[in-house]
Structure 1
Amino acid sequence: MSAIDEETPSLGKSQARPEPKGMVRVFLKYLRPPIGEFHAVCLFVFVGVVASTNVDTLSVAVAHGLAIALLVAVYGGISGGHVNPAVTFGVVIGGRCEVFIGLLYIIFQLLGGVFGAALARMVLTVGYTSTGNVTNVDLYEAIGGGVPQLAEGVTAWNGVFVEAILTFILVLTVLMTAVDQQLSIAPLCIGFAVLVDIIVGGSITGAAMNPARSFGPALVAGIWTNEWIYWIGPILGALFAGGSYRVFLAKSEYRILFKDKSE
């Protein structure tokens, strides 16, 4: 079933059930799913910012990958477990989510990112007690608020290109494993996509692939350096992934070209 055929754009398989009526229908379609996205993104950004206290890319990648797999599994039956405005945009472009619901998702995802970053700041702004000549270290300031940044020597447009490719991999993984094939292992596949992307691009751009992951920490920390990169790159990647899915890769009933009734 597609997202537009369900009361919520679930990424998993659904069972036939009676059509809800009245306020119950409004709640199930327009309120419960966005709230689920708010929760999921809040937790994801919190984990991501706190994980930034690790110095090695692999640890950060594993934390993000496992977190997204867990959150997609938990919230998949409520909202589809997008946990990312770029994923929502790609699913909308792919024709598997209503535009209005997609807009609701993005608003709640960005709010969730802000709350998650604020929680992380509250936890990390503790500092170390100074003894002798040891200087106090504020963990939150030490990681720059967990805001993704370009590595030294990486140009802005190279950053956009890297973020676009990484997001393309992530969004296409969501579309093909969770939306199109509705695989039970889709959360694991999505987690691996995030894991691989961060291992590949974490040392270059921070591998955000998620405007909520960059916007929330940037707003809370007041650090806006190159923030536009972490919007333009993921949007372009999601656009190409959603477009490729819609035109060429989707099942026949959702594909634009070369429809085959025998599929």
Structure 2
Amino acid sequence: MAETKMAEEKLEMSNVETTLMKNTKKPAPPPLSTFERVIQPCLAEVIGTTFFVFIGCVSVIENVESVGRVQPALVHGLAVAVMVACMAEISGSHFNPPFTIAIYLCGGMQLTMVFPYLISQLIGGLLGAAMSKAMTPSNRYLNATGAAFSILKSDDQLAGAIFGEVAMTCLVTMVVLLGAVNNKSKSPLVPFMVGCTVIINILAGGDVSGTCLNPARAFGPAVMANYWIYHWVYWVGPIGGGLVAAALVRLLLGDEKTRVIMK
């Protein structure tokens, strides 16, 4: 009888604990408002791209000749690392049309947000370039063509420049996709990794194409300085590189959820 009573008491205690655990469960978080779901991410993309382009353009316009590519490389890389770390939980910190396209193709965002993100990034590019023009002396601004990409002078340079933009954008986009989208390889070090990849790309390929990797970074200065020579290269190359990176992750490098073949 005593054993039966003890067993019943244990069962009652277990039921009480189960009930308490059920009652102490945290309620589901309320759905995000339209502002937090749509407007705030687009604002973050505008602001993040604005300051990235602004700082990047100023680093080129005010570049000390003796330093060479080191100054723009460090400034662009550190700027993107800081902005990615700050805005990641708000918009995902794209700041680059090829990133947005590739992230969508790998299942990292909804189609309805792709176009607003692209527009936001181009607006940010324009604002950042305008800020750099307002800040820097006119003689230095003109001497640097407003930080527009003016390194290409003839058709002989096109093949190497396009290939370089495709390959280098593919590299940095793969870092973004594998570090932030693909569940198997996600890493909290994404801001550091993206920043380092931008730095090494500029150091490696700056004299070949200027290492744009970002149409928003090319578009703003081109508008402000009215410099459009070979501007199309900085759309075709980066977008092509982003598509190649998305294909590599979707077909070969992604986890079972991301990969579309050989599951």
Give the TM-score normalised by the residue count of structure 2: 0.84
How far apart are the structure 1 equivalents of 2:207 and 2:161?
Answer: 11
Q: Say yes or no: does 1:117 pair with 2:129.
A: yes
Q: d(CA) in 2 for partners of 1:200 and 1:99?
A: 34
Cα gap change, 1:17 to 1:69, in 2 (>3 Å):
farther
Of the candidates 36, 47, 51, which is equivalent to residue 59 of structure 2?
Answer: 51
1:145-160 equivalences under 5 Å are 145-151=146-152, 155-160=157-162
Alignment-derived partner of residue 107 in structure 1:
119
2:76 is the counterpart of 1:64: yes
Distance in 1 between residues matched to 2:196 and 2:253, nearest whole Å: 21
Which structure dedicates a bigger proportion of its chain to helix?
2
| Matched residue, 2:20 | none
In the alignment, the residues of structure 2 paired with residue 188 and residue 151 of structure 1 have an alpha-carbon distance, to the nearest angstrom, of: 30
The structure having more radius of gyration, on CA atoms, is 2
Residue 175 of structure 1 is matched in structure 2 by: 177
Is 1:247 the counterpart of 2:251 in the alignment? Answer: yes
Distance, in Å, in 1 between the alignment partners of 2:28 and 2:116 is 24
Whether the 8 Å CA contact 1:151–1:203 is kept in 2: the answer is no
- Residue 187 of structure 1: aligned partner: 191
| 1:167 aligned partner, one-letter code | T
Q: Does 1:18 align with 2:29?
A: yes
Structure 1: segments with no counterpart, 5+ residues: 1-15, 128-137
Which residue in 1 is equivalent to 2:208?
204
**1:144 partner amino acid:** T
Aligned match of 1:134 = none
**Distance in 2 of aligned mates of 1:17 and 1:257:** 35
1:151 to partner: Cα distance: 4.6
Question: Does structure 2 retain, via aligned residues, the 8 Å contact 1:65–1:194?
Answer: yes
* Alignment equivalent of 1:32, drawn from 18, 40, 49: 40
What's the CA shift for 1:45?
0.4
* Alignment TM-score, normalising by the size of structure 1: 0.84
Q: Is this contact kept in 1: 2:202–2:210, CA < 8 A?
A: yes
Residue 162 in structure 1 maps to residue 173 in structure 2 = no
Paired position in structure 1 for 2:234 = 230
Provide the alpha-carbon RMSD of the alignment.
1.5
Q: Displacement, 1:152?
A: 5.2
Q: Which runs of 5+ in 2 are unaligned?
A: 1-26
Displaced runs of 4+ in structure 1, greater than 4 A?
151-154
